[in-house]
A and B are shown apart, each in its own frame.
Chain A
């Protein structure tokens, strides 16, 4: 058990180290997030009423689009450095690699999402102070679901020809229920309603988290085999 934790941690450590040295992903994602804001504002127009109505959807759209970019790159590091086989050959439970990658991706996505929430608040003049804890819960639950399936599918598509196309095509339909839940829950939270009023959505998200991570842990071996 301890070895599993250590191995998981070393995967996270390695990914963070590589990311810090190459500085590729986080910078690009931050810039992308900023651009999305402009695009959304231009697409929806200056009408504040209209904006308020679509805000939860826009926020999660931004999360998903940046998530797709970030997750899609997860295993590129392994391919570029030709380490894929070595990962597979390293003795021990391969799901430690999955959890490690998942943790790293989760961290990355949460950072980008935090930045987006701040930017959204700034650009669209929202007062998020009171609702921040509740919003954090919804975002946390939703992001785990996204990252869990995303990490699994990213490993799969890393080895396939049209990976940039196949990855979103596989991931998005699966994420539909999560998207429905998170947008509805975010809507309620932004209106100041208590978390209890969206308990059913939160339970769905929690169930999704458990199911996706479990399936990921159980099937990652088969995907890593290449």
Chain B
């Protein structure tokens, strides 16, 4: 089951790359560097997807003591942290030529960094508890707290960046974007989502094998 997913993922990633590098238009002011957005934005979307799955898995584990749910939550957190790291890295790389600095406390980078550290803590907790059952239980609680914290992070960071004016809208989107750009973003989002599924599936299989070996 996993290998066909891998195959489709590879194809999707290739398509995404073509869209990002070839099909999408060259940005006027920033030049080709802007194309990194097709890596950066889908990355963060998948990270959120991953953390949503962590929430669901955590609740399922606490509710039903389903070890499978716990494995999915664990794997999803790992892959989520991976994509979060990718978001930060691409954001930083994008920032250097654009704003002249490796780091800036803009709303997205700040929020994503907070998420990164939160879920890194989740993984640290799992790593430090030997008792499998307790580790799963505690991680589930942290996973739930972290997930409910995400909207709080968003609002607080966004208001923090827009100084004195609290916004009346939730978050201004980029307004209307040309269809080509939207298409390129969506293709890459789909590709990254498949990559996420592939990674999680492999990781869950590994975790299950480890559990069976001990059990």
Contact = CB atoms under 8 A, between A and B. Distances in A.
Interface of A: 149, 152-153, 156, 159-162, 166, 169-170, 173-174, 176-178, 180-181, 184, 200-201, 204, 207-208, 211-212, 215, 219, 222-223, 225-226
Contacts, number: 79
Interface stretch (B42-50, B73-81, B122-130): B122-130
B190 interface: no
A177 B129 contact: no
Contact of A222 (B62, B156, B166): B62
Given A174-B118, A180-B157, A204 B141 contact: no
Interface in B114-153: 114, 117-118, 121, 124-125, 128-129, 134, 137-138, 140-142, 144-146, 148-149, 152-153
A173 B145 contact: no
A215 B58 CA distance: 13
Interface of B: 62, 114, 117-118, 121, 124-125, 128-129, 134, 137-138, 140-142, 144-146, 148-149, 152-153, 155-157, 159-160, 166
A176 B125 contact: no
B121 A177 contact: no
Contacts of B138: 156, 160, 223
Nearest to A207: B152
Contact of A177 (B125, B137, B156): B156
Q: Tell me whether chain A's interface is mostly helix, strand or loop, or mixed.
A: helix
A153 B138 CA distance: 9
